[in-house]
Every structure is written in C-alpha cells, then in structure tokens.
Amino acid sequence: MGRKGRRWMLGAALFFLVLALAGLGGSYAWYRASLAPPADGGVPYPIVVEISSGMSSRDIAELLMRAGVIRSAPAFLLYLRLEEPSAVLLAGRYRFEAPTSVPEVVRILREGRTYVETVTFTVPEGFTAEEIASLLEEKGLCTREEFLSEVARGSFSLSFSDDVPSPDERSGRKYRWEGYLFPDTYTVPKDAGAHAIAERMLQRFAEVFDPAWREELKRRGISLDEAVIVASLVEREAVVPDERPKIAGVIYNRLAHKMPLQIDATVAYALGDPHRQKIGYDDLGVDHPYNTYRVHGLPPGPIANPGREALKAAVFPESHEYLYYVTKKDGSGEHYFAQTYEEHLANIRRSEENARRLSSGA
C-alpha cells in the first residue's frame, strides 16, 4: 500500500475513533442527566408508589419511571449495576414529596424508608366514648362498633388497669374505659385499628395524670376511678374554667353529706344525649343507674372523657361549704353557689330573673 493509502487509512481510523469517543461522551452525558431528579412540574407531588414483594429490579425501574419518580428505567438499572451492585430494594409503600435523584431513590428503597399513611383527629374535652367512636368512623379509622367493643371490655397493659372496674350488670357501668380516653389531637396510621387507637388514648391519660396526683388521692382516701368520675361531672357541668375546682368541691361536699348529686348531665348521659341542654321534669325520673336524681352517690362510671384541668380539679377541689349551684343564665356561663337550700332557692329566682332580662334585651 502506498503512502497515500496509508494516510487515508489513518485518517479514517482517527475519524471513527472520534465518532466512538463522541458517542461514549454522549452516552455518559445521557447517563448522568438521567440520574438527575425529574423536571419539576411534569408530575404532581407527592408521588406514592407500592413496591410489591418479589418484584425484580427491572419491574421496580419501570414502575418508578411510569410514576414519574425517575427519568429513565435503563439509567436506573445501569446505576444499580455500576454503583450499587449489592443493593437490595425493599418492598413497601414509598412517598416522594419532591423530585428526587436516582442515587437518593435507591438509598430510600435500600433503607426501606417506607411511607405510612396517617390520619389526624382531635377529641374535644367532654366527648363520650360513643362520640369518639362516631368520629373515628367518620375518619375511616375503624367502625363505631369496633371501637366501643374495645372501650367496653378491651384488655390493655396499663399502669392503672387494676384501678378501673369492668362493666357488669350489677353496677350498671356502661364502658370500662369511658373517662380514660384522654381528649387530645392524635396522629395514627390509617390502618392502626380500634385496639391500637384506644390504647394510645389510654396511654396519653397515663402520661397526663401526674404521679403526685395519685399520691394526693391516696392521702384523701379517694380511688382513681372515683376521681375520674368526679372529673367527668365537672367537665360536663363547668362552662367557665375557673369554676371547675369550686364545682368539684360541691360534688365532694354533697357526697360527704350523703346527699344525691342531682346533676343534670348524668340524666342527659342516661338518656343517650350527653349534650342535651334542657332536662324536663319527667326526665329526672328515668330509671337508670347513671341518673343521680334517683341513685345516691357517684354514677357507676364517668359520663365523659375529661381534660387535664377537670382531672386536676377533681384531685384538688376548692375547699368551701357550698352544697348547691345553679347557672346564672345571664350569658356568662357562670353559676351561683349556695350553702343552704334557702339560699339556693333565692339563687334560682335570681337566675330566672336574669333569663327574663336577657330574653327581653333589658
């Protein structure tokens, strides 16, 4: 071959080498670009994907690409082969809040940082177990019946379990754990179930009820359950927070004097309408163990789930000689308190006069 031919061959070889290098460079650029987070705006975030047990790396790559989590399934597989050859991608549900690079996606799947769907709900102070059950059903967490079954007879490992009696026909107690489902805001897994939700609320009660309070009850000779029952009465009777300890004091005074409590809220609970505002004369005679107009002493169980301040008032009631109270009916939510029945009757007249004045706009 002549010099001219050799020169042509060398030129051709150089040409093809340049093409090959250009191709490799282009492939590398494509590879690096494909590892970057997807362009924001293409897919709405968050993205939730479910990786099933037994899926191959190729299946996972294609799932992630279809969902918009990664740019390229081939680039994802190449990254695994070149840089994470021993990585095990774990099954589970994953949630991606924003565009994520392939290395970070692989790290998330390798570490099993699965996403648990949660639901947040708030239990107001004074809610009953039945109201909580309806709330949970509305949130799609469990059925009303499932939750009430746990509240009635569910078994839980709690520091105060031995202090809470089980319901029975003789006592008339409706739900064992009524009163101990602490009112608060909770965030739970959507699939937590009735038992776990009830247990979390009961554990919250244990966290809130100060050990020093237990010592105070022991000093006064009052059981935990008696205090929680009183707290539930206070929660339903008191409108103005500052009156809680005073109302608790009236309840304890009436118990000490062997007087029926005659608390309207217990009648409302007995009637299955705990937030009923008006109790008629006929309602007072309802034959029910929770009706404190007919039954002396405390009702057989709490009538609501009290908050921290109502519990504290039941542990540390105000010391006084009052035996009666009646709402002022002046729009303040406050009560008149009396030591004697005669004073109480006078307060009732004042209350009725306030109501007339308020309704007339005087």
Residue range 322-350, pLDDT digits in tens? 999 999 999 999 999 999 999 999 999 99
Cα gap 237→345, rounded to integer Å = 19
Residues whose CB falls within 8 Å of the CB of residue 107, separated by 6 or more in sequence, listed in order: none
**Enclosing H/E stretch for 249:** helix 244-256
The pLDDT tens digits along the chain (362 residues) read 555 555 545 544 444 444 444 445 567 888 989 999 998 766 789 999 999 999 999 999 999 999 999 999 999 999 999 999 999 999 999 999 999 999 999 999 999 999 888 999 999 999 999 999 999 999 999 999 999 999 999 999 999 999 999 888 788 999 999 999 999 999 999 999 999 999 999 999 999 999 999 999 999 999 999 999 999 999 999 999 999 999 999 999 999 999 999 999 999 999 888 888 778 778 888 889 999 999 999 999 999 999 999 999 999 999 999 999 999 999 999 999 999 999 999 999 999 999 898 888 75
Average pLDDT, the chain: 90
Strand partners, 92: 51
Give first-to-last CA distance, the chain, whole Å: 123
Residues whose CB falls within 8 Å of the CB of residue 290, separated by 6 or more in sequence, listed in order: 172, 174, 266, 267, 269, 270, 299, 300, 301, 303
Cis peptide before 46 (omega within 30 of 0): yes
Residues 239 and 195: beta-carbon distance below 8 Å:
no
Residue ranges and CATH numbers for the domains of the chain are 32-111 (3.30.1490.480), 118-208 (no CATH), 211-316 (no CATH), 321-362 (3.30.160)
Cα gap 262→283, rounded to integer Å = 12
Question: Is 0.85 surpassed by the pTM of this model?
Answer: no
